Amino acid sequence: MSEGKKKIDNRRTIDPAALSVIDTNSANGQVETAYERYVNMQPQCNFGRTGVCCRICLQGPCRITKKSSKGVCGAHGYTIVARNLIRAIAGGCGAHADHSRHMIYTIHELLEGKAPDYSIEDPEKLHRVADRLGLSADGKDDKELLKEVLTHAESDFTKINEEPCKWLETTVVPERMKVFTDCNIQPRSVHTSISEIMGSTHMGVDHDPVNLIFQGLKTSLADYIGMHIATDLSDILFGTPKPVTTEANFGVIDPDMVNIAVHGHNPLLSEMIVRQAREMKSEAEAAGAKGVKCMGICCTGNEVLMRQGVPVLTNFLSQELPIMTGAVDLMVVDVQCIMPGVKAVADCYHTRVVTTMSHSKIPGSYHVEFTEARAVEKAREVVTLAIEAFKERKDKEVDIPEIKHKLTAGFSMEAMEEVLGAVNPEEPIKVITDAVDSGQLRGVVLFAGCNNLRVPHDASGAYLIKELAKNNVLIVATGCAAGTAAKLGLMNAEAVEEYAGEGLKAFYKTLNEANKDKLKEDLPLVFHMGSCVDNSRAYDLTTALARQWGVDVPKVPFVASAPEAMSEKAVSIGSWCVTLGVPTHVGVVPEVTGSALVDGIALQIAEDVYGGYFIWEEDPEKAAEKILGALDERTWKLKVHKETAEKFETELSAGW
């Protein structure tokens, strides 16, 4: 920072490790990161922020103001806001589809014998998925069965008929499918839905905001399908996660190791890099290091954490900062949530940034093109680059904040059922429903989503986790929200002692005692269910709860919260949560407030139609009250409906 330049408040995080790096950097005044760029960006455009700026045709940009209440073409504010919103859903769905399609393609190559480094690591998962899809395994070997699963996955991606998509039909309760049919929002396929949005939002097509929003919700369901396929296929290829204990935050960087940060989303390459990093210890030792250490950022980090126990380096917002310790030798990235800013920061150090996907490049970075046919070779190339970078820095000074926390992750749906099954082997999910029915638990909350500098980094998520735990809420988490818990010491058993209310503590005591011969560590305060695509796992839990209670999802005391939603993927996930019947808190008000109509659909009308609804609340204290209120409303209704059904010996009311 040059002399005399105005001092800016760049301390927009509560993560002590991130703050330490920010403060050291401010003192030296060398490197610009997102924390400074956000402040420099103020004030941001209010037309964009409220969603009333249209750039869909070349007559724009058109902004809705008091003077000009319609676009040049006559588009109302509500049309512009709705179009912008659902294009974001299409963007999110497209990103997840990109990830999922890559898994499909790799399995296709594996079955053709053209991806020799991949194999079916989890045949049991393959059989579970096949069984769910209604496929018989009789007389088929695993590859034949996988081929049939793949045919269904490809169909859900591309078909244009109105048959229900398999990954929707077989993973949600039948009452949800009826709602989707009644409202005509059953997606034909993932690709078709994205294409329909781009077509219907083209200049001069759909101007009806309600119709547009329904199209958006249809595409959000397509997103759910793509995500669920990604989770299932990843488990088949790399194994279904089981509980695993490791550490999180910058203190995991070991200056004596060759340090590799894996960043992005797709496990196809990061899994290979982690495996090769272990194999290439002797090469690292020859360079003067103790070995090669991989650490994760964002969701590729979550993928290798869940399956391989790879330590968590940090989450989305602080992705540039580990480089500034001077001890990260290489950052390898695949797709999504990679700030281009990492390259400029890396240029100030010895760190090499390596891109790996043909459609996700950063100018000036190394590029090691990933191919399914030569995955191990490509992974070794990346590790070799890291070892070379280590040689350049090994005698240089580094500055690593000594902050890290133990965490236990790896809670796939299967792992959750195993933990609960130690208490009730026949009906594992009943362990949760009984605890809610008895008042021991107030419900279940999923923390999901990103970080966003519009609110202080990690602050809202950490507050809500502590506050809800105190109020006996069972907490699961995914994505960068899970990263918040991991980095700040909220994803271990000690946090249960420190923050859980009496009911939650008693619930944990029962689980821990039943699992004492099975688990190495007591259970953590927050159950890490995986990456962003693994929100599918969290929704499987919701479905399981609904099935156990014998109700549709809008009766289930389950709330989703994205305290720092940022990406288009988060918009899409939030939308399918609502469509699938879940109240969804968003801690950063999205760009819809420019239309009272669209805002009203999100906040109120959605509940009448789908049972789920949005809660916009940036203040974490108020958000905690609203989330608890949403849980209590559902628990109370469920109780009243059950008592009434018992009294009059009738079916449980289907309404919500």
Applying CB under 6 A, which residues contact ligand SF4?
54-57, 59-60, 62, 71-73, 75, 80, 203
Q: Which of 342, 389, 532, 588 binds ligand MSK (CB under 6 A)?
A: 532
Site string for ligand MSK, 152-171 (x = CB under 6 A): --------------------
Say if CB 362 and CB 290 are below 8 A apart: no
Say if CB 632 and CB 639 are below 8 A apart: no
In whole angstroms, give the CA distance from residue 564 to residue 639: 33
64 makes contact, choosing from ligand SF4, ligand MSK, none, with CB < 5 to 8 Å by partner type, with: none
In whole angstroms, give the CA distance from residue 554 to residue 489: 32
For residue 249, which phi and psi values (nearest 5 degrees)? Answer: 100, 175
Does 93 help bind ligand MSK (rule: CB under 6 A)?
A: no
Give min distance, CB of 616 to ligand SF4, in A.
Answer: 25
How many residues are there in the chain?
656
Say if CB 416 and CB 541 are below 8 A apart: yes
Give min distance, CB of 94 to ligand SF4, in A.
Answer: 21
For residue 433, which phi and psi values (nearest 5 degrees)? Answer: -65, -40
357 makes contact, choosing from ligand SF4, ligand MSK, none, with CB < 5 to 8 Å by partner type, with: none
CA distances from 503 to 89, 153, 436, 497 (A): 38, 42, 10, 12
203 makes contact, choosing from ligand MSK, ligand SF4, none, with CB < 5 to 8 Å by partner type, with: ligand SF4
Say whether the peptide bond before residue 267 is cis (omega within 30 degrees of 0). no
60 makes contact, choosing from ligand SF4, ligand MSK, none, with CB < 5 to 8 Å by partner type, with: ligand SF4
Does 526 help bind ligand MSK (rule: CB under 6 A)?
A: no
Of 591, 454, 589, nearest in space to 51 by CA: 591
Instruction: Count CB-CB contacts under 10 A for residue 44.
Output: 10
56 makes contact, choosing from ligand MSK, ligand SF4, none, with CB < 5 to 8 Å by partner type, with: ligand SF4
- Interior/surface letters 133-159, b for 16+ CB within 10 angstroms, e for the rest: bebeeeeeeeeebbeebbebbbebbeb
Q: Is 119 left (phi over 0), alpha (psi -120 to 50) or beta?
A: beta
For residue 44, the one-letter residue type is: Q
Say if CB 240 and CB 214 are below 8 A apart: no
DSSP E strand boundaries for 533-596 = 558-562, 584-586
Site string for ligand MSK, 249-288 (x = CB under 6 A): ----------------x-----------------------
63 or 350, CB closer to ligand SF4? 63
- Token duo for residue 147: 């081929």
Give min distance, CB of 44 to ligand SF4, in A.
Answer: 20
Q: Which of 47, 250, 316, 507 binds ligand MSK (CB under 6 A)?
A: 316
Does 570 help bind ligand MSK (rule: CB under 6 A)?
A: yes
202 or 622, CB closer to ligand SF4? 202
Give min distance, CB of 215 to ligand SF4, in A.
Answer: 17
Give min distance, CB of 96 to ligand MSK, in A.
Answer: 9
Does 90 help bind ligand MSK (rule: CB under 6 A)?
A: no
For residue 208, the one-letter residue type is: D
Half-sphere exposure in the Cβ direction for 5 (13 Å, CA): 9
316 makes contact, choosing from ligand MSK, ligand SF4, none, with CB < 5 to 8 Å by partner type, with: ligand MSK
Region from 61-69, 456-464, 561-569, 582-590 binding ligand MSK, contact rule CB under 6 A: 561-569
Site string for ligand MSK, 285-314 (x = CB under 6 A): -------------xx---------------
Q: Which of 83, 96, 442, 569 binds ligand MSK (CB under 6 A)?
A: 569
Query: Contacts with ligand MSK: how many residues (CB under 6 A)?
Result: 16
Q: Can you say whether the dihedral through the CA atoms of 129, 133, 137, 142 is positive or negative?
A: negative
Site string for ligand MSK, 461-480 (x = CB under 6 A): ------------------xx
Give min distance, CB of 543 to ligand MSK, in A.
Answer: 22
Say if CB 551 and CB 528 are below 8 A apart: no
Element holding 232 (H helix, E strand)? helix 209-238
177 makes contact, choosing from ligand SF4, ligand MSK, none, with CB < 5 to 8 Å by partner type, with: none
Does 576 help bind ligand MSK (rule: CB under 6 A)?
A: no
Q: Which residues pair with 350 in a beta bridge?
A: none
Going by the DSSP 8-state scheme, the letter that residue 605 receives in this structure is I
Give min distance, CB of 475 to ligand MSK, in A.
Answer: 16
Give min distance, CB of 432 to ligand MSK, in A.
Answer: 25
- Cβ burial of 11 (10 Å; 0-12, 13-18, 19+) is middle
- Token duo for residue 161: 């008929």
Say if CB 600 and CB 592 are below 8 A apart: no
Q: Is 364 left (phi over 0), alpha (psi -120 to 50) or beta?
A: left
Does 449 help bind ligand MSK (rule: CB under 6 A)?
A: yes
96 or 466, CB closer to ligand MSK? 96
Does 338 help bind ligand MSK (rule: CB under 6 A)?
A: no
298 makes contact, choosing from ligand SF4, ligand MSK, none, with CB < 5 to 8 Å by partner type, with: ligand MSK
> Residues interacting with ligand MSK, by CB under 6 A?
265, 298-299, 316, 336-337, 449-450, 479-480, 531-532, 566-567, 569-570
